[in-house]
Structure 1
Amino acid sequence: MVKVSIIDYAGGNLFSIVKAFKYIGLEPVVSGDYKDWEKSDLLVFPGQGNFSQAMIKLREDNKDVILRELLKEKYFLGICLGMQILFEESDEAPGIPGLGIFKGKVRRIPVDKIPHLGWNEVKLEKESMLFKDIPDNSFFYFVHSYYVDTEEDIVYGLTEYGVTFPSFIMKDNIVGVQYHPEKSSSKGIKFLKNFLEEIKKC
C-alpha cells in the first residue's frame, strides 16, 4: 500500500484531503515531523493558508531544507498553496523566499473579484497519465487569489480567470495543482487514484 504523509504546517485544510485519501482506501498520516515524511511514498502539501505562514513554519528546524532533499526522491503533490511554495517568491509575501524548486513567481490575479472561487476548466497542454479517463476541459474546484507565473517547461494544464495561468504542473516526481482535487468530486478523486496508480508502478 502506498504510504501518504500530509504535511501539517498549521494552516492547511486537512480534513478534506484526509477524507479524500480515506475514500480511495488509504490511511494518510498527518504530520509536521520530517521523520514521518521520510517513511512515506507520497508527500502532500495541502492547499489553504498564507505563503509567508507556510514558509516560516517550514523553516523551523530546517524543515524546508529537509523537504527539498526529500523532493529529490519522494513523490510530491502540492495543492494550491502547496504548488505555489515550489517557486522562488510570491506577491503575497514580499521578501520571503519559497522553496525555489522551480523558477518563477507567484502573482496576484489581476481582477477585482478575488478569490477565484468555484468550478473552472482545466485545459490540457500535454498528455499525462494523471488525467487518464478525465476528459480535457474538465471542471475542477478552485479557491485562490494568486497564480504561478513560470517559463519552465512544466505546465501540463491551463485555466483562465482574468489571466491564463498554470493549473497543473509536473516534472518527474513533483506535481502541483492550483485546483483542489479533494473538493472536485469524481474528477478530483479520479486524479488522485491515477496518481497512486503511477506510484505503484515504480
Structure 2
Amino acid sequence: MIGIVNYGAGNIFSLTAALERLDLKYGMINSESEFDLYDRIIIPGVGHAGTAMKKLVDSGLVPKIKSLTKPVLGICVGMQLITDFSEEGNSEMLSIIPVNTLRFKEAISKKVPHMGWNQIYSENSSLLFNGIDNETYFYFVHSYFIEFNPKFTTAFCNYGIKFSASIQKDNFYGVQFHPEKSGEAGEKLLKNFANL
C-alpha cells in the first residue's frame, strides 16, 4: 500500500486518480506514526521548492522521511526535495541524494518553464523503468532541474542542457516528470514502483 506524504504542497488529484485507475491502494500520511501503515511512500509536490521544503519542515515529518528504509518516490518538486540544495528560494533541501537543483538559465534559448512531452534516456537498469522503452516520452512541467550526475542519475533528458530526469540512491527514487500525467508509460512506472 502506498502512503502519500500530505504536507500541503499542491494539488495531488491527478496522482490519486492515476493510482485509482491502476487499482493501487493508497492513503494520506499526515503524521509520523502513519508512515508505518504503508510499504511504499510517495513525496508529491508542485510549485516552489523553497516553500515546499518549509511546509515539510513545519509538518515535523523531515526526520522520519530521512530515516526511511522502504521505497520512497519523489515526484517533480518531491524529487527536488530529496536533493541537497535548490536555487529556487536558495533553500537547503533534505540532503538525501547529494546533487543540486538549479534554474534553467535563459541562455539555453529554450522557453522556461520546460513544459510538455520530452524523451528520457535511461542511464542504467533502474527497476522503475522495467518494461519501459528507452527514449520514451514523459510529461514535464518545471523551471528548475537537477544537475546530471552519473553516480545517481538513472535517466536523463535534454532541454538545451542535459539534466537528470530520474535519480536514485538506495531506497530513494526521484522523477522530474509527472508519471501520473504521462499516459501508459507513466502508469507502468507507478506500477513498477508499487512492486519494488
TM-score range, shorter chain: over 0.9
> Partner of 1:59: helix, strand, or coil?
helix
**1:89-128: per-residue Cα shift (whole Å, max 9, x none)?**
111011x310001112110012362110000000111122
Q: Which moved more, 1:178-187 or 1:163-172?
A: 163-172
- Show the 5 A alignment for 1:17-166: 17-60=15-58, 62-70=60-68, 73-94=69-90, 96-111=91-106, 113-149=111-147, 151=149, 153-166=151-164
**Cα distance in structure 1, aligned partners of 2:179 and 2:151:** 23
**Cα distance in structure 1, aligned partners of 2:43 and 2:182:** 17
Give the aligned partner of residue 9 of structure 1. Answer: 7
**Cα distance in structure 2, aligned partners of 1:133 and 1:84:** 25
**Cα distance in structure 2, aligned partners of 1:129 and 1:180:** 17
The one-letter code of the counterpart of 2:63 is V
Cα deviation, residue 151, structure 1: 3.5
Instruction: Calculate the aligned-residue CA RMSD, in Å.
Output: 1.5
Cα deviation, residue 152, structure 1: 6.1
> Partner of 1:119: helix, strand, or coil?
strand
Give the aligned partner of residue 170 of structure 1. Answer: 168
**Cα distance in structure 1, aligned partners of 2:31 and 2:104:** 33
Percent identical pairs in the alignment equals 36
Q: Which moved more, 1:132-141 or 1:29-38?
A: 29-38
**Cα distance in structure 1, aligned partners of 2:36 and 2:10:** 20
The one-letter code of the counterpart of 1:99 is L
Whether contact under 8 Å (1:102, 1:152) holds in the other structure is: no
Question: Which runs of structure 1 show a deviation greater than 3 angstroms over 4 or more consecutive aligned residues?
Answer: none
Unpaired segments ≥5 residues, structure 1: none
> Partner of 1:168: helix, strand, or coil?
strand
Q: 1:163 to 1:150 in 2, by over 3 A?
A: closer
For normalisation by structure 1, the TM-score amounts to 0.90
Q: 1:61 to 1:6 in 2, by over 3 A?
A: closer
> Partner of 2:112: helix, strand, or coil?
coil
